[in-house]
Structure 1
């Protein structure tokens, strides 16, 4: 997962990639720190064509507000430049995998 902190970089990645995952975490967020490696591992293992981006919403408040992020962690999944799914705080990895897998198989 690469960390980006400008709107322009993120919009460029959304434009150039078929599928993108934006992970909005926060400094000193226990849930964010525990969930991030699990999501990163699941996506790398099961959905390798999804580009993974990390945004620290504490440092990049304007960027978080641009995407209407009000809690941490929040995960946005885009397919073909459109937001497909938004996950916040309590995320089940099984549900996450099932929902992403359905569209991932259609796109790829």
Structure 2
């Protein structure tokens, strides 16, 4: 079971983590997720992605101050680096993460 503690431990122990907040009723979430996952796999092999269904765990969304879906939070070296909500392009997300990620992993 996903918990705030588990996520916080992952954020501290992994170099790069993405939290993807969505819900079963969100069509945009379902259209965006496979594109993001594919781009992350291709560009950021060490990035761990955690999907969070806010309808099942609203306390996690609240803990991370997520009030709209889809929301993507990217953590690099334990610190929040990127926060995107609603309208985001996959290319834009990749472009914003690429340089710091490459510097950390090279």
- Is TM-score (shorter-chain normalized) higher than 0.5? yes
Q: TM-score, normalised by structure 2?
A: 0.95
Match of 1:94 among 62, 68, 91: 91
Residues 8-36 of structure 1: CA deviation (Å, up to 9, x unaligned): 11011111101100000112100001111
Between the aligned partners of 1:68 and 1:27, the Cα distance in structure 2 is 20
Mapped to 2, the partners of 1:70 and 1:27 lie a distance apart of: 15
- 1:47 & 1:54 partners in 2: Cα distance? 16
Query: Which SS does the other structure have where 1:91 is aligned?
Result: coil
Instruction: Describe how 1:1-108 pairs up with structure 2 within 5 A.
Output: 5-108=2-105
Deviations 1:33-79 (A, max 9, x none): 11111111100111011111100011111110000000000000000
Structure 1 alignment gaps of length 5 or more? none
Unaligned runs of 5+ in 2: none
| TM-score, reference length from structure 1 | 0.93
